[in-house]
C-alpha cells in the first residue's frame, strides 16, 4: 500500500467512524462507497476491511455510551444469539451472489420510510419531548429476534456493522429514544462484527475480485489496519457528540442521513 492510498484509507476510516459513532452504525455504509470511489470496485475486499473498521467503531463508542447509561442491556443481550447466526447466513449469501440488488432496493425503501417518519415526528403537530416516544418501549424476545436477525443478515451480506438497519428498526418497533437507540446499537454491533470478521476472513479464498483475481488475505488485513485507527478515533468523537447535540437536531440529521443513503442505494446520483 503506497502512502497516498494509506492516507486516503485513514481519512475514509475516520469519516466512517465519525458517522458510525454519531448514529450508532458500523460505518460500513459510508466506508464501502468511499473506498469504491477512491480505489475502484472490489466489494468482497472492502466488506472484509469494513467489518474490522466496524469493530473499531463499536469499541471506540461503547465506553461513552456506558458512562451515559444509555444502553438497554437486556434487549441488547437478547439480540446477540440470532444476530451471530444471521451474520453467518449473510456471509454465505454474500459469497454466493455477485449483486444482491433486490435486498439493497428493499432496504433503501425502508430507510426512506424511516426518514419520512422521523421528520414527521419532529415537525408534526405533536412533537416529542426530549426525544421520548409517547408509547411504551418494547423489548420482548420476539422483537429482539427480528432486530437481531435483520442486523446480522445485513452485516454478513453487505459487510457492514448492521447498525444501519438496527437503528431504524429500534426506532420503529422498540420505540426507543434516539440516544438510547444509538447507544444500544453501538453495543450490539460488537458481537455481530466479531462473528462477521471471523467468517468473512475465513472464506476470502472462496471469492474473487470483479476482474476474477484471488483476494489476498494480506491485502485485506493491510486495508483493515489502515481504516481501523481513524474509525476508532472518529467513533469516539461521534459518540461524545450524541450526548451533547440537541435531540431535535440529532434526529433531523439522522433522518437526512437515512434519506441520503436510501437515494444512493436506489442508484440515484451515480
Please write the tens of the pLDDT for every residue from 160-185: 888 888 988 898 899 999 899 999 99
- pLDDT at site 8: 95
Give the cell for residue 183.
Answer: 447507544
pLDDT in tens, 67-105: 999 999 999 999 999 999 999 999 998 888 766 556 566
Place of cell 461503547: 62
Q: What pTM was computed for the model?
A: 0.82
Give the cell for residue 257.
Answer: 442521513
pLDDT in tens, 170-225: 988 999 998 999 999 999 999 999 999 999 999 988 888 877 888 889 999 999 99
- pLDDT at site 67: 95
What mean pLDDT comes out for the span 111-115? 79
Residue 120 — very low, low, confident or very high, per pLDDT cuts 50/70/90? confident
Residue 265 — very low, low, confident or very high, per pLDDT cuts 50/70/90? low
Amino acid at each position: 500500500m503506497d502512502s497516498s492510498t494509506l492516507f486516503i484509507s485513514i481519512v475514509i476510516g475516520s469519516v466512517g467512524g465519525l458517522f458510525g459513532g454519531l448514529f450508532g452504525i458500523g460505518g460500513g455504509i459510508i466506508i464501502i462507497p468511499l473506498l469504491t470511489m477512491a480505489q475502484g470496485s472490489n466489494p468482497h475486499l472492502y466488506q472484509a476491511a469494513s467489518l474490522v473498521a466496524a469493530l473499531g467503531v463499536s469499541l471506540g463508542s461503547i465506553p461513552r455510551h456506558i458512562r451515559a447509561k444509555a444502553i438497554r442491556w437486556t434487549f441488547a443481550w437478547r439480540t446477540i444469539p440470532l444476530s451471530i447466526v444471521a451474520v453467518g447466513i449473510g456471509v454465505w449469501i454474500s459469497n454466493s451472489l455477485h449483486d444482491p440488488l433486490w435486498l439493497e432496493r428493499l432496504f433503501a425503501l425502508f430507510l426512506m420510510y424511516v426518514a419520512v417518519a422521523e421528520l414527521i415526528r419532529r415537525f408534526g403537530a405533536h412533537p416529542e419531548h426530549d426525544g421520548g416516544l409517547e408509547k411504551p418501549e418494547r423489548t420482548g424476545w420476539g422483537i429482539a429476534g427480528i432486530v437481531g436477525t435483520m442486523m446480522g443478515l445485513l452485516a454478513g451480506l453487505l459487510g457492514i456493522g448492521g447498525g444501519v438497519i438496527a437503528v431504524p428498526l429500534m426506532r420503529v418497533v422498540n420505540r426507543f429514544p434516539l440516544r438510547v437507540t444509538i447507544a444500544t446499537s453501538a453495543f450490539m454491533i460488537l458481537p455481530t462484527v466479531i462473528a462477521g470478521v471471523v467468517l468473512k476472513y475465513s472464506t476470502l479464498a472462496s471469492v474473487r475480485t470483479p476482474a476474477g483475481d484471488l483476494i489476498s488475505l494480506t491485502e485485506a488485513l493491510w486495508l483493515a489496519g489502515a481504516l481501523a485507527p481513524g474509525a476508532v478515533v472518529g467513533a469516539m468523537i461521534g459518540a461524545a457528540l450524541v450526548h451533547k447535540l440537541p435531540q431535535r437536531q440529532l434526529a433531523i440529521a439522522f433522518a437526512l442521513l437515512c434519506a441520503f443513503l436510501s437515494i444512493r442505494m436506489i442508484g440515484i446520483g451515480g
